[in-house]
Structure 1
Amino acid sequence: MLTRRSALLSLGATALLPLATQATPGERLYLNAFGEKGSFGLAAFDGDGRIRYQLPLPQRGHSFARRADGRMAVAFSRRPGSFALVFDPVAGTAIRTIAAAEDRDFCGHGTFSADGRLLFTTEVVGSTGEGVLGIYDAAEDFTRVGEFATHGLDPHEMRLMPDGSTLVVANGGILMRADMPRLKLNIADMDPSLVYLDARDGRLLAQIRPAAALRQLSLRHIAIDRHGRVAVAMQYEGPEDDPVPLVALHDAPAGAAGLEYLAMPEADRAGMRQYCGSAAMDAGGRHLAVSSPRGNRVLVWDLDSRIMVQSAEARDVCGIAAQARSGFLASNGLGRMFSLMAGSGIEELTARSRLQWDNHMVIAG
């Protein structure tokens, strides 16, 4: 097994992989973690799927945080994660590695503060499973300067709200501990929630839970629409044939007390196989896309009308991000990338790769 220390030494000793092609100034790039023949890394690519650069990772990656100025990004290891890699997303150069604190594991996601000074990361206390947000000072070489409680178990994705001072966190509600890292210990009495925290002091602003009958809905991924509403993509830990909702909206943080579940045809809901893998808004903030690698599909909603407008099939598809003008770019575990336009179907891009794309795609700049 790769220990935390050996992982960090491995990352520091591994040379930068060669550039595939040079990026054009001002060109939109995307980031995705990948696996390849037992090794791991991250790659940046353009809107046609052409790889611009790669960086090695010592273990499997998950998602990214990008600073607003576009000059710094962080790649997070898959939970229970031992490291995060700070890098320049334009030049494709590694800056430094952040090791997880004692008895803390990264959960794969994070976000920068509005001014770019602080990095917030979702983490768990390894010995208890409690959720925290780690706080790192980017101006002080990413020194860990504190943490906020997430008021729940298994925090996963988090976002900074448009007001620049509120953090929203999806607590998955599943109890896991470091001594049993992939074992789910409380499926019968899960406690998922959507939590809003004051980014300045960690004060709890609101906490929204599914109804008791839906307590096995693990809240996982978040996207924010043009009206500041939070979309939540979920994974159901109960029986596969239970007809439960998988996607919800919340008018945050002072809106309705409950989640508003988005309707979808039963064939599509069942086809998701109770698993949402990623969520993203399009460039206009109107259309929400949710992927399901287990269900081999992407569903798209018009959030103004609350109507599902598209169901597109692609094997093992998970990563998804907004294209520059409209629609979405998606990746799958077979090295394929796709262009998805709301109402116009899905088209595989000509650029293919031997890389096995991992869960999340984000815009690099």
Structure 2
Amino acid sequence: MATIVSRRTTIGLLAAWAILPTRIAKARTGQLFYLNAYGNKAGFGVAGFDAAGRIRYSLALPGRGHSFARSRDIAVAFSRRPGDYAVVFAAQDGKERHRIAAAEDRSFCGHGAFTADGRLMFATEVVGSTGEGVLGIYDATLGFRRIGEYPTHGLDPHEIRLMPDGRTLAVANGGILMLADMPRLKLNIPDMDPSLVYLDAATGRLIRQVRPAQDLRQLSIRHIAIDRRGRVAIAMQYEGPETDAVPLVAWHGGPEDRDGLRFLPMPPEQRAGLRQYCGSAAMAGAGRLLAVTSPRGNRMLLWDMEAGRYLAAAEMPDICGVAAQADGAGFIVSNGLGRIAACSDGAVLTALNDAGGQRWDNHMMAVSV
């Protein structure tokens, strides 16, 4: 699949790199809100709540939401794959700004990321007729018009992050073949091809592609988080037998790292307790602490990335949403039963709010406004 993006866009991206550090610093000041998609008896939406778990606003969505992209005072909520919409809204009050429809023969995969200057947004998408992964490119200065796409060099792209260098995109290719006429049917489980890819944000050039070993090809690479060294933590879902003792959490050193995945240690009972499924990943402690949640396993696991050491586990039914606390000491988490809690001092969970009939969806994002 050809890379499609205009020369003018490429020149504009390259010109922006020189001023990114200042703009990034400004975007990280202000009041911190947390975003989480939800479902309830009335339908679907996204809520913004504060560090105490108090809901400040909600915005109705046309269907089930998944995760978000953010830039300064705006955020974008993506529909669950195969998704047909994305909604742009003000992060401070939840007012809708734009609604983006999926392009022809494309569907959203639930995640996106902005360039550091906020001008362009990349959304993970899949080509419905072939199952190939692409990044849709949207210009925020033109009302989020879709101006092109990059191939992700894999199937089933899911989470995407902008690396700390401000120039490189990290993309998790889940490696599962699904087509538009059979949207939830997994067609290639014996021959999956998951990978972590690094792409040049300005040109779409493939910088590096990292795959699990062949005997671990059924580890679907789905969620990523970046530590303070610029290493990428990877949370996976295993599509093989539930009795297989496979590693589920790994890290890679970034686009210059020529080695493969390194798996993080965890006690055997905790690995088994994840039930082959990691639902979300986040960093706290200035990028030192890694949290990985498992709604199927009803638990969250913590690691010290500096030491490469497993720390502890916290249990909570149907836990999945996770984001760093404002002070960086721990995490805010949510679950499918409507609960919001704080996790600090090891793995102690402190309840903040219980929204009753609100079913919090998979991902939480912290936004500074």
1:52-85 residue CA offsets vs partner (Å, 9 max, x unmatched): 0000001000000000xx2111000000000000
Percent identity, aligned pairs only, is 65
Match of 1:73 in 2: 75
Structure 1 residue 48 displacement after superposition: 1.2
What's the TM-score once normalised by structure 1's chain length? 0.91
1:340 aligns with 2:352: no
Task: Show the counterpart of 2:365.
Answer: 362
Contact between 1:157 and 1:169, CA under 8 Å: does it hold in 2?
Answer: yes
Contact 1:50–1:351 (CA under 8 A) maintained in structure 2: no
- Equivalent AA in structure 1 for residue 54 of structure 2: R
* TM-score between both structures, scaled by the size of structure 2: 0.90
Matches of residues 95-110 of structure 1 in structure 2 within 5 Å?
Answer: 95-110=97-112
> What is the CA distance between 1:344 and its match in structure 2?
4.4
Structure 2: which amino acid aligns with 1:338? Answer: A
Matched with 1:190 is 192
Matched residue, 1:130? 132
- Structure 2 residues without counterparts, runs of 5 or longer: 1-28
Which residue pairs with 1:175 in the alignment?
A: 177
Task: Give the match's secondary structure for 1:213.
Answer: helix
Q: Equivalents in 1 of 2:93, 2:318: separation in Å?
A: 30
Query: Are 2:73 and 1:41 aligned?
Result: no
1:51 partnered with 2:26: no
* Matched ranges for 1:85-164 at <5 A: 85-164=87-166
In the alignment of these two chains, the number of paired residues is 339
**Structure 2 residue aligned with 1:221:** 223
SS at match of 1:343: coil
> What is the CA–CA distance in structure 2 between the aligned matches of 1:345 and 1:166, rounded to whole Å?
36
Q: Is the 8 A contact 1:48 1:349 kept in 2?
A: yes
Contact 1:310 1:342 in 2 (8 A): no
Q: How does 1:281-300 map to 2 (within 5 A)?
A: 281-300=283-302
Q: List per-residue Cα deviations over 1:248-292 (Å, max 9, x = no partner).
A: 000001114200000100000000000000000004110000000
Aligned to 2:24: none
Q: Where do residues 170-319 of structure 1 align in structure 2 (5 Å cutoff)?
A: 170-319=172-321
CA contact (8 A) 1:131 1:150 kept: yes
Q: Aligned equivalents of 1:234 and 1:156: distance in 2?
A: 11
- Runs ≥4 residues deviating over 6 A: none
- Distance change >3 Å, CA 103–CA 140, structure 1 → 2: same
235-244 vs 38-47, greater mean Cα deviation: 38-47
Secondary structure at 2:166 match in 1: coil
Query: Does the 8 A contact of 1:286 with 1:304 survive in 2?
Result: yes
1:32 and 2:36 aligned: yes
Supply the AA of the counterpart residue of 2:184: R
Instruction: Tell me the CA shift for residue 306 of structure 1.
Output: 1.0
Unaligned runs of 5+ in 1: 1-24
Contact 1:48/1:351 (CA < 8 Å) preserved in 2?
no
Q: Is the 8 A contact 2:172 2:224 kept in 1?
A: yes
- Partner of 2:135, secondary structure, is strand
Whole-Å Cα distance in 2 between the matches of residues 342 and 310 of structure 1? Answer: 10
Q: CA deviation at 1:221?
A: 0.3
Cα distance, 1:338 vs structure 2: 1.2
- Distance in structure 2 (CA, Å) of the matches to 1:232 and 1:87: 29
Give a deviation string over 1:127-161, Cα, whole Å, max 9, x none. Answer: 00000000001001111100000000000000000
Matched position secondary structure for 2:272: helix
1:327 and 1:354 mapped to 2: Cα distance?
Answer: 26
Letter in 2 for 1:57: L
Rounded to whole Å, the distance in 1 between the matches of 2:148 and 2:353 is 46
In structure 2, the residue corresponding to 1:319 is in which secondary structure? strand
Tell me if the contact between 2:41 and 2:357 (Cα under 8 Å) persists in the aligned partners.
Answer: no
1:301-341 CA deviation, whole Å, 9 max, x = no partner? 00111111010100000000000111000000000011111
Question: Is contact 1:62-1:108 (8 Å) kept?
Answer: yes
Q: Distance in 2 between matches of 1:346 and 1:114?
A: 33
State the shift of 1:91 in Å: 2.4
